[in-house]
């Protein structure tokens, strides 16, 4: 009897890049990829934060100060480097408020980072991969709010639904080049970005009622999914989403 061989979750010899990697989910993703053997480039706007994170992770990882809203610099960044095999497209923001309070500046702030920047980061990364004939995996950090709606989340939901749609189209465009594209869609994860929300006890209680497993997410809950989607273990997955929501969207 010839038994099948379990696909490897290792990423030795792979070059990875994580945007918004200075803290929270981005930092956790970078650590997970490095632990699996990848050489990771951490990208963020704050140099001190990103340099400290890269030094702590080690294993050949390095930090780069880059504002992903500056699309000319984004294109130059990818043009100046060998192709990456793994992208974690993580930089994002949120401005929760009722839809009637949203002004144009709020709209632009959320969509410019969560949609426009995410699109062109993925494009620049994919173009470089295609030019070098490098296969790999694009991983976009979406949200459960890209699959449902939520009060005071019109901007965020819209941006993440857009990401989910872009991801599916990316997967179709890139499949013939051996490049996969998927999203990870977490529930509320305790990070510096979400911490102020949970100071409101009513809000926190309402969130916990929706998360059927009865707890807020931790960055560790996302790390395994990042490695899985980056590795050969997910070789047949593209154009889909891994929803890590404790049962929120099951209802």
156 is catalytic: yes
- What is the end-to-end Cα distance of the chain in Å, rounded? 43
How far, in Å, CA of 67 to CA of 112, rounded?
A: 12
Hey, which residues does 91 pair with through a beta bridge?
A: none
Predicted confidence band of residue 197 (pLDDT cuts 50, 70, 90): confident
Active site residue 111: no
- What value does the mean pLDDT take over residues 181-192? 95
Q: Are 41 and 18 in contact (CB under 8 A)?
A: yes
pLDDT at 156 over 90: yes
- Please state the three-class secondary structure of 102-130 as a single string: CCHHHHHHHHHHHHHHHHHHHHHHHHHHH
Q: Which of 116, 160, 209, 210 is catalytic?
A: 160
Fold entry, domain 15-244:
Rossmann fold (3.40.50)
Higher pLDDT, residue 197 or 237: 237
Catalytic residue among 156, 168, 209, 212: 156
Q: Is it the case that residue 108 has pLDDT exceeding 80?
A: yes
pLDDT tier at 232 (50, 70, 90 boundaries)?
very high
CA distance 176 to 4: 26
Q: Count CB neighbours of 206 within 10 A.
A: 11
What is the Cα–Cα distance from 159 to 136, expressed in whole angstroms? 25
Percent of the chain's residues with pLDDT above 90: 88
Residue matched to tokens 């970078």:
30
Task: Judge whether 229 and 237 are in contact, CB under 8 Å.
Answer: yes
Helix (H) or strand (E) holding 65: strand 62-65
Burial 71-83 (b: 16+ CB within 10 A, else e): beebbebbeeeeb
> Is 211 a residue whose pLDDT tops 90?
yes
Quickly list H helices, the chain.
24-35, 47-57, 71-79, 104-111, 118-132, 154-174, 201-210, 220-230
- Determine the distance from the C-alpha atom of residue 61 to the mean position of all C-alpha atoms in its chain, rounded to a whole number: 18
Would you kindly state where each structural domain of the chain is located, as residue ranges?
Answer: 15-244
For the chain, the maximum distance between any two Cα atoms, rounded to a whole number of angstroms, is 65
Q: Is the pLDDT of residue 160 over 70?
A: yes
Q: Say if strands 62-65 and 86-89 run parallel, antiparallel, or are unpaired.
A: unpaired
């Amino acid at each position: 009897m010839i038994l099948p061989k379990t696909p490897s979750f290792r990423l030795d010899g792979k070059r990875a890049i994580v945007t918004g990697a200075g803290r929270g989910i981005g930092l956790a993703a970078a650590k997970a990829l490095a632990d699996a053997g990848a050489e990771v480039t951490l990208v963020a706007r704050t140099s001190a934060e990103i340099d400290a994170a890269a030094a702590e992770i080690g294993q050949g990882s390095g930090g780069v100060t880059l504002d992903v809203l500056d699309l000319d610099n984004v294109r130059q960044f990818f043009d100046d480097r060998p192709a990456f095999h793994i992208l974690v497209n993580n930089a994002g923001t949120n401005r929760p408020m009722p839809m009637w309070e949203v002004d144009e500046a709020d709209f632009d702030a959320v969509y410019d980072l969560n949609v426009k920047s995410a699109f062109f980061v993925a494009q620049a990364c994919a173009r470089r991969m295609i030019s070098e004939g490098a296969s790999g995996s694009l991983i976009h950090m979406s949200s459960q709010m890209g699959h449902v709606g939520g009060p005071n989340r019109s901007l965020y939901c819209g941006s993440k639904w857009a990401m989910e749609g872009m991801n599916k189209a990316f997967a179709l465009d890139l499949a013939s080049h051996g490049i996969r594209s998927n999203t990870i869609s977490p529930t509320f994860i305790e990070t510096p970005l979400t911490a102020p929300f949970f100071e409101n006890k009513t809000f926190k209680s309402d969130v916990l009622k929706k998360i059927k497993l009865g707890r807020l997410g931790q960055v560790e809950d996302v790390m395994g999914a990042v490695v899985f989607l980056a590795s050969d273990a997910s070789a047949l997955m593209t154009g889909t989403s891994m929803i890590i929501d404790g049962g929120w969207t099951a209802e």
